[in-house]
Amino acid sequence: MAAEDAAPAGRPQGLKANAIGFVDALVIGLNATSPAYSLAAVIGPVVALVGVYAPGVMVASFVPMLLIASAFYYLNKVDQDCGTTFSWVTRAMGPWAGWLGGWAITMTGVLVVGSLADVAVSFALLAFGLDGLVDNTFVRQLLTVLLILVMTAICVIGTELSAKVQNVLILAQVACLLIFVGVALYSVYDGTSAYDSVEPSLGWLNPFGAGGAALTGGLLLGVFIYWGWESAVNLTEEVEDSATAPGKAGLWSTVILLVTYVSVGFAVVAYAGPTFLAENAGEEEFVFAQLATDVLGGWDWILLLAVATSAIASTQTTIIPASRTALSMARRRALPASYGHISPRFRTPDVSTWWVAAIAIVWYLVVSRISSNALFDSLTALSLLISFYYALTGIACVVYYRRHLFASVHNLLFIGLGPLVGSALLGWLLVRSVADMSDPENSYSGDSWLGLGPPLVIGIGITLAGVIIMIAWRLRSPAFWRERPSVADPDLVRSHGLRKEP
């Protein structure tokens, strides 16, 4: 068997090794965050909270993401497992914590895939002038389900095909955003903006300009816009140079996202002005559509298409972490073995991929029946799961490498303090999220579920469901729970240049 096709020690032959390269992994990491859609969904609420300091909040939100990306990079160096957080946390902190981390990742995909596909369909219809169909619930939901099925099929057919599709979508998305930024800023300086425009200032990069309370709310939203870059690392077993390339792709994707978000943030705030954005904070996505019309005129389809392609791309890439995590859990006997099935033809996790899609479709249709606001509330609950498993990964990095942190200043900063600070920030945001979501008035719907806000009830419900399933599976199949935590092997650490030679 060729070296490049050999499975890592102790792991059966399965996923297709060396299927994609660094650039492909980087593109998938970028698309998983859905930049254009994330901006469309978040820019209004962020401006409502912090005004012109929205670009600064985007910079501040980047900090914990970069620190946790460092943890992903160094953990991937010693364990190239597509289960990422699940595998690493299990290795460092034991099976109970690892299982919950894997559950959180899998459920984020279930919660968000339907919403992403719905946005993709809505903006595509708008881009092609079919505005009337956007309000036709049956047609929109039918097209949404079909889109999920198509994107799932692409995921199953092969990682190479997925990468090719993603490359096209990211190019279209970035090109559209750059055109929007350029025209918007030109209109500001030319005095032709349709709103009370404001000339950009470097002072907008100050995240503390609007005060501490506003910054906290902005950071909670910032977690959502950066989330997803780790999809590149979930493909570690299928990427060339798997020990370093996926981690680097994750790191670089966060940096590219920072530049993209700050650029668009400056353009939107400068063109529309903080007052207009704050007054329309509850209609974020379609405010972006309105700005597209105002900025680009008859060419507004460019930005609409950017949001559509962004959401289409993310519909596909969001399935990847959930399906790969389920695969990793199944082959470690933390889930039924059927979830670990790999297609003999395509060498992708076909069963887990289709299961993620099926559950996501059911979730989307059921929650949509409650109300469109309930669907948004389920997205808000994402911040709880995201903050949890990111923070858990950062802690796992410190725990796993604990005997090597003081071998060098590099280790102390990038493997110790960095991930630890990132985890602390995300832990703080998690606590603040719970406090904010306990008030029903802070939800999209404003409804009260069991005396709490719907997002918190959804988050608690998903967590409890995970705990119940975990305990049930522990009783039925205890093999996984016999695993014991370990520390980084000195020889392996030395081979990666992370320990001083004697």
Q: Tens digits of per-residue pLDDT, 250-283? A: 888 888 888 888 998 898 889 888 777 767 655 5
29, 221, 248, 425 from 256: Cα distances, Å: 10, 18, 12, 22
- Could you tell me the pTM of the whole model? 0.87
Q: What are 306-347's pLDDT values in tens digits?
A: 788 888 888 888 888 899 999 999 999 999 999 999 988 888
Alpha carbons 16 and 107: distance in angstroms, whole number: 25
Residue 1 — very low, low, confident or very high, per pLDDT cuts 50/70/90? Answer: very low
Rounded CA gap, 260 and 35, in Å?
A: 8
At residue 11, the pLDDT reads 43
Residue 74 above 70 pLDDT? yes
* Residue 8: predicted pLDDT: 42
**pLDDT tens sequence across 279-308:** 765 555 556 667 777 787 777 677 777 788
End-to-end CA distance of the chain: 37
- pLDDT score of 233 more than 50: yes
> From the CB of residue 175, how many other CB atoms can be counted at a distance below 10 Å?
14
DSSP for residue 94: -
Q: Which two tokens stand for residue 389?
A: 């498993």
Average pLDDT, the chain: 84
Structure tokens at 42: 């978040």
Average pLDDT over residues 48-60: 85
Q: Which carries the bigger pLDDT value, residue 10 or residue 499?
A: 499
DSSP string for residues in 364-432 = HHHHHHH-HHHHHHHHHTHHHHHHHHHHHHHHHHHHHTGGGGGG-HHHIIIIIIHHHHHHHHHHHHHHH
Instruction: Pick the more confident residue, 123 or 10.
Output: 123
Alpha-carbon distance 190 to 426, whole Å?
Answer: 41
Q: In the prediction, which pLDDT does 375 show?
A: 73
Distance CA 471, CA 217 (A): 35
Please tell me the predicted confidence (pLDDT) of residue 2.
Answer: 34
Closest listed residue to residue 209, CA positions, set 41, 50, 394: 50
Is a pLDDT exceeding 50 seen at residue 3?
no
Asked if pLDDT for residue 58 goes beyond 80, the answer is yes
